[in-house]
Amino acid sequence: MKVIDVWNPKGGQGKSMFSINLAAAAIELGKKPFVICQDPQGTSMLYHKGGNLPFKVLNSIPHTKPNADILIFDHQAADWEVPSGQLLIMPFKPARDQYATYTDAFKRAEGANKEIVTIVTDTNAHRADELKVTTAMKDRGAFVIPSSGVFGRAASEYRTIFDDALNRAYKVKDRRREFIQIMSHILVEVK
């Protein structure tokens, strides 16, 4: 079973959105994901309670091994303890203060010898400083998930962007392709 920790101590970076949609991308690739929501705000649990997810979400680690290929931990904000798993997905928004927190957390994770996949989320193309950070991170191998209305629409209905109800949403195919690319990278290229 592949274990993925979606972690960044800064709140509002897209950890829950990323966890839910990464799990949906895993299904598209023929895998069976399971999400553990470790955030007291319970965003991933809200999606689960909405009844539109094709996978399970729990708010604690199950006592028995789940019937899954991929276990995704959606970590809470303000948790500076580097997760125990080997693979960390670190989403962050490219605004200066968000980037500073990500950098500090990245150094901690790197010092703990973690395998790190960085995701730049929600870049505003009209802000030169955000574009600069996004471009620099992409050049260093980070994945980019651009700002997109499809995420807001999916969130308002507690769905993933892979839900058939969003098939006609603007640029949904691009966003789906990006998540599948990230999950493929995790499955094939990451130990």
Q: Which residues span the domain enclosing 12?
A: 2-189
- State the Cα–Cα distance between residues 10 and 96, nearest whole angstrom: 12
Beta bridge partners of 90: 118
pLDDT of residue 45: 93
Q: What is the 3-state secondary structure (H, E, C) of 66-82?
A: CCCCEEEEECCCCCCCC
Distance set, CA 63 to CA 60, 66, 72, 137, 175 (Å): 9, 9, 16, 39, 35
Q: How many domains does the chain have?
A: 1
Sheet holding 87-92, edge to edge: 56-58, 33-37, 70-74, 2-6, 87-92, 115-121, 143-145
Give the rounded percent of residues in the chain with a pLDDT score beyond 90. 81
pLDDT of residue 39: 85
The model's pLDDT over 87-142, given as tens digits with 9 standing for 90+, comes to: 999 999 999 889 999 999 999 999 999 999 999 999 888 889 999 999 999 999 99
pTM: 0.94
- CATH code assigned at 82: 3.40.50.300
- Let me know if 161 is exposed, middle or buried by CB neighbors in 10 A (0-12, 13-18, 19+): buried
- State the Cα–Cα distance between residues 17 and 55, nearest whole angstrom: 14
pLDDT of residue 12: 86
